[in-house]
Amino acid sequence: MNILFTCAGRRRYLLKYFKEIIGDSGKIIATDMQLSAPALTAADVKIQVPRVYAEDYIPTTLNICKEYKVDVLISLNDLELPILAERKSDFEAIGTKVIVSDSNVIDICFDKYKTAQFIESIGLNTPKTYVNYNEALEAIKAGKLHFPLIIKPRWGSGSIGLEFVDDLEELEMVYKLDRKKVMKSILATASVEDEFLLIQEVIKGPEYGLDIANDLNGKFRGVSVKQKLAMRSGETDKAITVDNPNIRDIGATIGNALGHIANLDCDILERDGKYYVLELNPRFGGGYPFSHEAGVNMPQAIISWIQGKDVDNSIFFPEYGKTFSKCDILLNVGEKNRGYE
């Protein structure tokens, strides 16, 4: 089995997890717009490709799948997911299974305003969210929305454009500045409407990360819950797996209602005993290794499903009380393999 990771970036551990399963029976191929991307050091084949918004990105990726007889394609980048969801049939026509949810699921997760609406529609809590600046001002003046607030891109990735504001003066200045900042960033292409910034209530309290597992037919199979102990650059840096039935029930509600495939990365905040769903990312997230090292094995599940086998649901639940922390390592990323024409 040959597996292609696109936009591989920094997720070196994920490539290693899959390689441990397939061993010498297949190849791990990784692509990125930079051959110096750290994850490429864990690949059997590393290839430089155009930016995801380039006209030749999909044709280049399709050619790689043909040349290397790729069985499975896994994307590790939010911005690429809508593109791959629309073109899944092109890949599957050449025998490559794309592990990405359908376009309607990607749309709900990628558009953070639609995420908030979806969460409320299934009876769960989410921070108060406004997409219209004037409506947010009215809510503040009416006492329905309170500082501090967070301003963030409606179609975002990572921590680009995230800003906290503490009063009306800051809100006005930062909102205008953030609009310019986002339109100068890689998020500009994804920001398809004029109202591309969100103004959202800040929830202060313990934060949790969920890995919500569905099978390749969108059926819910299990959930791993981790309490975040430290963050760095918008990503979980230290976490402990916890036995929290209430949060697991939230994960099950989301998995059953959304119908995503494979892993869904979800953030939840707790305030005064109530849980608020913050974001849904229909892919492997930066918090997945905390689940994996505690016994969860989504890579094994994906490979088994592709081979027509099933797995027991216990594979999606971690051993509780396991604490892990990320650390920096130095990699030699200077060795070239192949670029694109």
Distance CA 334, CA 69 (A): 27
Query: Would you give the DSSP letter of residue 4?
Result: E
DSSP state of 140: H
pLDDT reported for residue 341: 39
CATH 3.30.1490.20 domain position(s) in the chain? 128-201
User: In the CATH hierarchy, which top-level class contains the domain 3-100?
Assistant: alpha beta
Pair 263, 283: CB distance under 8 Å: yes
What's the N-to-C CA distance of the chain in angstroms? 26
Per the CATH hierarchy, to which homologous superfamily does domain 207-325 belong? ATP-grasp fold, B domain (3.30.470.20)
Residue 79's region, left for phi above 0, alpha for psi from -120 to 50, else beta, is alpha
Domain at 128-201: CATH code: 3.30.1490.20
Ranges of CATH 3.40.50.20 domains, the chain:
3-100
Give the closest residue to 101 by CA, choosing from 200, 187, 217, 196: 217
Name the pTM for this structure. Answer: 0.94
Q: Where in the chain is the domain with CATH 3.30.470.20?
A: 207-325
Whether 263 contacts 284, CB under 8 Å: yes
pLDDT at res. 232: 83
User: How many Cα atoms within 13 Å fall on the side-chain side of residue 77?
Assistant: 21
Tell me how far apart the alpha carbons of residues 115 and 138 are, in angstroms, rounded to a whole number: 22
Phi-psi region of 13 (alpha: psi -120 to 50; beta: other; left: phi over 0): alpha
Give the per-residue pLDDT at 334: 80
Whole-number pLDDT of residue 339:
55
The span from the CA of 279 to the CA of 340, in Å, is 34
What are the structure tokens assigned to 9, written together?
């970036």
Residues in the chain, pLDDT under 70: 158, 335-341
What is d(CA 114, CA 98) in angstroms, rounded to the nearest whole number? 24
